[in-house]
Amino acid sequence: MHSQLAIKYPLRAKFLLCMVTLLVITVPQMFNSPDDSLERGTFVFRILLLLFIAGAIAVSLYRSAGKPKTLLLEPEKLVLEGKEVSTADIHGVWINERWYGIKLKQRRIVPMKLCFVLQPRQPAGEPELLQWAEEHGIPVERRFFIRWM
């Protein structure tokens, strides 16, 4: 069975809200001048935290605003953005509301690249994905799953 599904990386509103809140808390504290070595250490830590937060927001917005990607369901593998995932490496397909995650056996959480939403113009996408998983003996669960970044 060869199927092609149009997918998009989800906009993660809760994540963005938390990061913006941390940004709002961190930025005003940056204007305090460091007086001693302990405060210099916290100043450097705040700069690193600020860079991490800004980077996480940028990556999240860039991924969710991008063009739809293609997920290929092939007989013994899954192909997403040119990367192949063998069915032997897949632990399960997890569904959380409208989010889909492909959980790999060697990972504890769903990798960011394997977390997606189906495009709304493709109503037959979920049945195709579920049928592909059933044909390959991959369990499908409707449950909460953790995604990295």
* Class level of CATH domain 3-10+67-142: mainly beta
Report pLDDT digits (tens) over 61-77: 887 777 888 888 888 88
User: Judging by DSSP bridges, how do beta strands 3-8 and 115-118 pair with one another?
Assistant: antiparallel
- pLDDT given for residue 38 in this prediction: 62
Q: Which residue has the tokens 């509301």?
A: 97
Dihedral over Cα of 47, 49, 55, 60: its sign: negative
Query: Would the pTM count as exceeding 0.95?
Result: no
* Structure-block tokens of residue 107: 């990972």
Whole-angstrom distance, CA of residue 105 vs CA of residue 108: 8
Task: Give the pLDDT of residue 139.
Answer: 92
Domain ranges for the chain, please list them.
3-10+67-142, 13-65
Per-residue pLDDT tens for 11-26? 777 788 888 888 888 7
